[in-house]
Every structure is written in C-alpha cells, then in structure tokens.
Chain A
Amino acid sequence: NAGVTQTPKFQVLKTGQSMTLQCAQDMNHEYMSWYRQDPGMGLRLIHYSVGAGITDQGEVPNGYNVSRSTTEDFPLRLLSAAPSQTSVYFCASRIPDGSGPNTEAFFGQGTRLTVV
C-alpha cells in the first residue's frame, strides 16, 4: 500500500503562474482534504471532499480550486500564485465518521511551495 501520495515534493513558482498539486490515495477512503501549514498556525483546512463529485470549502479556500472526479484523486489548483501562498501543503484521507472506530486521517508527505 502506498497510502497517500503527493506530487511534487518541492515547487518554486513565479507570481501569477498556475499549477496543480496532485494527491492520490489507494485506501478507498471517501474523505479527502487539503491543508496548508504555516509557522505558528498548525494545519489550516483549504478544501475537502466527502466523495467523488462532492467538494466544499474549508477555512482558507481563497485562491485555490479543487475537483474530485474519482475516489482516488483530489488535485489542488492554484490559478494565479501569490507570495502569500508560499507554504507546505498536505493532503489527507480517511474513512467517513461513523463508519468505524478508526477515522483518523492519513497524510501525504507534503509539498513545499515557494512563490517568488
């Protein structure tokens, strides 16, 4: 089992460029989420999905788009990168609340993004 796989691990963008961070999981988890990690701020939820075709905004959604066409994949798109989006991004997946005792999140290895 690969678990949750994020690509790329590192990326440098120029202001205004667009890119997609990829996230794939092979555990058949219905729930998937994107977080950003900034110093002193823990993990902040960007967008999340409860299944294919269903997405919703988290705490800090502005500047990011998501879609979920399959259970396995949940890409995060930056349409026009800004320096404020410099951060470490984590993708996570888990089984739905109420479907078992172990609803913990499994995280990818992170993507370190720098916008210059």
Chain B
Amino acid sequence: ILNVEQSPQSLHVQEGDSTNFTCSFPSSNFYALHWYRWETAKSPEALFVMTLNGDEKKKGRISATLNTKEGYSYLYIKGSQPEDSATYLCALSWGTGKLIFGQGTTLQVKP
C-alpha cells in the first residue's frame, strides 16, 4: 500500500490569510489524486479529482495542482474565511477500486 502523506497535520490562520497544504506520495503509478473537504459532524465532500501531471483545478478561492514527477499535490486557499475551517483530505486511486486517504490537514481560521 502506498503511503499518502499530508502536511502539516494542523494549521491555524487568521481570516484573510492565504494558506496551502501538501499531499505527497512516493510513486507516479496511480490513476488519480483526489482532494476532499470534511467539516466536523458531516461527511467528506469532493473538491477536485486530478489525473495528469501539471493539472490545475480551481473552485472559487480554492485551487489545487498536481506534480506526478516529483510526487506531490498542493491545495491552496486564498483569503481564508472562518467557513473554510475543516479537515482537508487527499486520496489516491489506482484504477483497481481502492481509494487510499492521507491523514488529513485540519485548518482553523480565526475571525
């Protein structure tokens, strides 16, 4: 099983700050990299699915990039708001049905 590593484990920022998290993995031999947003007491919801090296996706103030050659993906949040407070998960799929998650980065945005 590939290890999907996320850093940092937790992050505290002030409202208005921009921030980014990292998802790293040791191999480019996978089908897709997923990002999910998980609010407390709710279920995870998908943000992005990326498959190609150099992929960039954007949804509002949140964007993500994928570098398969160096084994990482970045998630960026521009101008963080308190409602962005959540745990952000990345996951890898291999085309076999398995979807393996990292441990997540928990973001707290202070007003």
**Chain A contact residues, CB within 8 Å of chain B:** 31, 33, 35, 40-45, 48-50, 56, 58-59, 90, 92, 94, 96-98, 101-110
Contacts and interface: CB of A to CB of B under 8 A. Distances in A.
Given A42-B101, A104-B49, 16 more contacts: A35-B101, A40-B9, A42-B6, A42-B102, A42-B104, A43-B89, A45-B99, A50-B96, A50-B97, A56-B97, A90-B43, A97-B96, A98-B31, A103-B32, A105-B44, A107-B45
Contacts of A42: 6, 89, 101-104
Interface residues of B, number: 27
Contacts of B49: 101-104
A105 B46 contact: yes
Contacts of A109: 42-43
Contact of B98 (A40, A45, A98): A45
Contacts of A105: 34, 36, 44, 46, 91, 99
A97 B104 contact: no
A103 B97 CA distance: 11
Query: Which 10 residue pairs across A and B have the least CB separation, nearest first?
Result: A104-B46, A107-B43, A50-B97, A42-B103, A97-B95, A43-B101, A97-B31, A42-B104, A42-B101, A48-B97
